[in-house]
Amino acid sequence: MKRILVLCLLYALGAGSVGAQIQSISFYSNYAVALDKRIAVTHGTAVGGGVELRIGVLDNYSVSIVGGYDLFSLQQDSALAQWNWRFWTERYQGIVRDNLASDSSLSATLNPVQKMDLLPLLLTVNAEFTPSKDFTLRPFVGGGFLFYTRRMYLVEDWQKRFSAIGYTFEYSYRNFAQNKVGNPAVLIGGVTAGYQVNDFITLDVAARYLTVLPTTGKLGFDEFPFTSALDFKVGVSLLY
């Protein structure tokens, strides 16, 4: 699929040689929510933004190259165990347990925090309909890859009580686990609605559905936290 995407990108970038032309460049912000979650992930939402280059190829049809960045906040049951963090399982977990067991004046709260940096690279085919003079609808389908980096760190809040003087010493720090990376393949579909303000600017809203293709053992799919997601975009397009 990577080869197909590269060939399509090269075609789109070279489309001007066969009469096609750039129609717009769009800048957008978006909000996404994971739907079908996996690997014990219970929650996933993101905010982000991106850019879309749209190139006309036929009457009322165009192709778009879409890139962006989303920052996901994730929650996962038994996150420390799910991560397979060797430093935690083979060493540090035992140290924490022994310290708490040997000193009754010591207490701790350990909270794992997960984030995911997501860089989508997508190619879509768009059809355009014009219900009224200044209003357009563009349904689209396409695919691409989701380049991701999952990050986890352990927030440690410790307290040491000194009962004799009525004082509690508090301190906290973070322990970072190794990252998980990959680039699973994805199919997308959705619709964009645009209102043309003038000859140069269109205001856009869009909704799209993403489904991640199962590639067990490849492309980092095994550690990807969901198989489908829905996102909503608002943005502005500069017309050419």
Q: Count Cβ neighbours within 10 Å for each residue of 39-77 and write b for 16 or more, e otherwise.
A: eebeebbbebebebbbbbbeeeebbbbbebebebebbbe
Return the structure tokens found at 74: 């994730």
At residue 198, the pLDDT reads 93
Structural domain span for residue 46? 2-10+19-239
Domain CATH for 182: 2.40.160.20
Torsions phi, psi for 95 (to 5 deg): -65, -45
Neighbours of 86 (CB within 10 A): 11
Q: What's the pTM?
A: 0.87
Contact present, 15 and 65 (Cβ < 8 Å) = no
Alpha carbons within 13 angstroms on the beta-carbon side of residue 239 total 11
pLDDT in the model for residue 8: 53
- pLDDT tens, N- to C-terminus, the chain (240 residues): 555 555 555 555 554 444 569 999 999 999 999 999 999 999 999 999 999 999 999 889 999 999 999 999 999 999 999 999 999 999 999 999 999 999 999 999 999 999 999 999 999 999 999 999 899 999 999 999 999 999 999 999 999 999 999 999 999 999 999 999 999 999 999 999 999 999 899 999 999 999 999 999 999 999 999 999 999 999 999 998
Say how many domains are in the chain: 1
